[in-house]
Amino acid sequence: MENNDFSYKDIIDQVRPISKRHSPMANADRAKQFSPFAALKGYEEALQLKQKRYTPRIELTEDAKSLLDRKLHILSQWLENGQKPIVTIRYFVPKTVRNPGKTLDESDIELGSYLEINGAAEKINSEMRSIQISGESLGIDDVVDLQEGPLTGTSEKTVCIFEDDCV
């Protein structure tokens, strides 16, 4: 059955005109026109932050606090002697979540994530309560664990810094 009411029958069999000013675009370049783009700058990063799982801050027991304090004291002595041992520090990065409609107070839950950094201990500043490792400064109050780290590229221990880590 043939449709005689075709409204473009006068141009349907014509050849597509080729521009004299512009050369034809390559197929790869045509595909770029339809590739996705970020209409909102920073939107993807904001989504990733929203999807990140935060955990509550761990309150260390008195025994854990005294062990960490002893390790920091030993590390401080090593640094005073001019040695820069390789250590691994596990620390808390806070992300405070406020209760809706309230101001920041003690009832707010302190959430965040725990990260580890491995590198040469450089400096402990007891007045500022900070420790510097591999060029990054961390708050001592955020440190939850301190272990001696392996030498770069090996699984061997450096030297026995903390007697609890000695085997």
Residue-level pLDDT at 123: 92
Buried b / exposed e across 55-71, counting CB within 10 Å, b at 16+?
A: eeeeeeeeeeeebbeeb
The reported pTM is: 0.58
Residue-level pLDDT at 158: 44
Residue-level pLDDT at 142: 93
Residue-level pLDDT at 1: 46
Distance CA 80, CA 74 (A): 10
Distance CA 65, CA 59 (A): 9
Ordered per-residue pLDDT tens for the chain, 167 residues: 455 667 888 888 888 888 889 888 888 887 777 767 667 777 887 777 777 778 888 899 999 999 999 999 999 999 999 888 899 999 999 886 555 555 555 556 788 889 999 999 999 998 999 999 988 999 999 999 999 876 444 444 444 565 555 54
Distance CA 160, CA 21 (A): 76
Buried b / exposed e across 93-115, counting CB within 10 Å, b at 16+?
A: eeeeeeeeeeeeeeeeeeebeee
Q: Cα–Cα distances in Å, from 68 out to 114, 140, 163?
A: 16, 10, 12
